[in-house]
Amino acid sequence: MLDRFATFLDRHARVLLTTHENPDGDGVGAAVGLAAHLKARGREARIVVTPSLPENLRFLDPEGWIEAHDSEGVHRDLAGWPDAWVLVDASEPHRMGPLFPAFEATGATRACLDHHLKDAPAGFDEEFTDATASASAELVYELVRPCFQGPLPPVIAQALYAGIVSDTGNFRHSNATPRIHHIAADLVGQGIHPARTYNALYQTATPAKLKLFGRALEGLQLRGGGRFAYVAVTLADLAACGATHEDLDELVEEPRKLKGVEVAALFSEAADGRAKVSLRSRERVDVNAVCRQFGGGGHRLASGAKAALPLATLIAQVEAAVLAQMGCDIV
Ligand SMILES: [Mn+2]
């Protein structure tokens, strides 16, 4: 697959890299690593994210390559710029959110590089996916590493390490494979600091974020005899704490900490009025199967969905689906 991807990149001179809406450490890390690689090979590469680069990921972009999407301004003619448009860390074009109309309009070859599970490929001229990879950054590492005899350029090493840390939950999740530890060891051996990376990615909470976590945990719900735990956050909760949607990051990990919990969920109201769910499974329950029933997906143990339903309706429906998936009686 990666040989095919390398050949694909070699055929194009102007490559636009985008990732899913509300970019995470893996999407940004993989895109920065790929952009640095392309630039080193004399290609033009740009990265456009929407809505913008989160504060805690700024350190991955020391050269200031990443552009915040501005459809009315500098990106009015974005569709006309690239000859290849690569969606990184997602394989559903709609996950680009506000970038999707330009993606639809472009005359560029459209491709994705991704490690999420997917039923039927659609919407791309070429797909480069490998659901056995722990992170998109792992795919970029495998592509880029053989091109360098010695150490990787620091910008690539840091970006890929942060992508791997993000998607393995700092090597806690079931995708923390032997391979990903070997890759991490190679990157740390080249001078990447695990503690500094962890601090930059995660030790960035504001008082508003901690208040929001407190408020959400006050409303903690347990179902299925304590095997399913969830919290829910409304727009009013965000406003009351002075918090933003970015502050929801990692909140789903809190109910997951409970002893005996098999599935944890975070429900939230999106800014567009739709309701969102993030599901995490400890090991046994396939939450990707649950999210697919609501038009979403992801990985077997970490998945999400967004639906045009009131929050309370989504909660009731997901709760029933999770309990059914667990093989529980619906209580
Ligand atoms: Mn990823």
Calculate how far, in angstroms, residue 215's C-alpha sits from the geometric centre of ligand 1: 29
326 vs 329: CA distance, rounded Å? 9
Calculate how far, in angstroms, residue 56's C-alpha sits from the geometric centre of ligand 1: 17
Q: By the 8 A CB rule, do 303 and 288 touch?
A: yes
Calculate how far, in angstroms, residue 26's C-alpha sits from the geometric centre of ligand 1: 5
Closest CA to 257 of 226, 224, 234, 233: 226
Calculate how far, in angstroms, residue 218's C-alpha sits from the geometric centre of ligand 1: 30
278 vs 266: CA distance, rounded Å? 5
192 vs 166: CA distance, rounded Å? 15
Which CATH fold would you assign to the domain 207-326? Diaminopimelate Epimerase; Chain A, domain 1 (3.10.310)
What three-state secondary structure class fits 29? helix
Calculate how far, in angstroms, residue 329's C-alpha sits from the geometric centre of ligand 1: 33
Taking the CA atoms of residue 115, residue 305, residue 15 and residue 165 in that order, the dihedral angle to the nearest 10 degrees is: -50
Calculate how far, in angstroms, residue 27's C-alpha sits from the geometric centre of ligand 1: 6
Calculate how far, in angstroms, residue 91's C-alpha sits from the geometric centre of ligand 1: 11
What's the predicted TM-score (pTM) here? Answer: 0.84
Q: Within 10 A of 189 (CB to CB), how many other CB atoms are there?
A: 10
Which positions ≥6 away from 124 have C-beta within 8 Å?
Answer: 87, 91, 93, 110, 111, 112
Q: By the 8 A CB rule, do 291 and 307 touch?
A: no
Calculate how far, in angstroms, residue 208's C-alpha sits from the geometric centre of ligand 1: 27
List where CATH 3.10.310.30 sits in the chain: 207-326
What dotted CATH number matches 2-202? 3.90.1640.10
List where CATH 3.90.1640.10 sits in the chain: 2-202
245 vs 251: CA distance, rounded Å? 11
Is the previous residue joined to 93 through a cis bond, with omega within 30 degrees of 0? no
32 vs 50: CA distance, rounded Å? 15
Q: Per residue of the chain (331 residues), give pLDDT as tens.
A: 999 999 999 999 999 999 999 899 999 999 999 999 999 999 999 999 999 999 899 999 999 999 999 989 999 999 999 999 999 999 889 989 999 999 999 999 999 999 987 766 689 999 999 999 999 999 999 999 999 999 999 999 999 999 999 999 999 988 999 999 999 999 999 999 999 999 999 998 999 999 999 999 999 999 999 999 999 999 999 999 999 998 998 899 999 999 999 999 999 999 888 999 999 999 899 999 999 999 998 889 999 999 999 999 999 999 999 999 998 645 4
176 vs 228: CA distance, rounded Å? 24
Calculate how far, in angstroms, residue 184's C-alpha sits from the geometric centre of ligand 1: 16
Strand partners of residue 85: 16, 110
Q: By the 8 A CB rule, do 159 and 199 touch?
A: no
Token readout for 323 is 């309990």
pLDDT in tens, 289-302: 999 999 998 889 99
Calculate how far, in angstroms, residue 25's C-alpha sits from the geometric centre of ligand 1: 8
Which positions ≥6 away from 127 have C-beta within 8 Å?
Answer: 91, 111, 112, 114, 121
Calculate how far, in angstroms, residue 250's C-alpha sits from the geometric centre of ligand 1: 15
pLDDT in tens, 117-156: 776 668 999 999 999 999 999 999 999 999 999 999 999 9
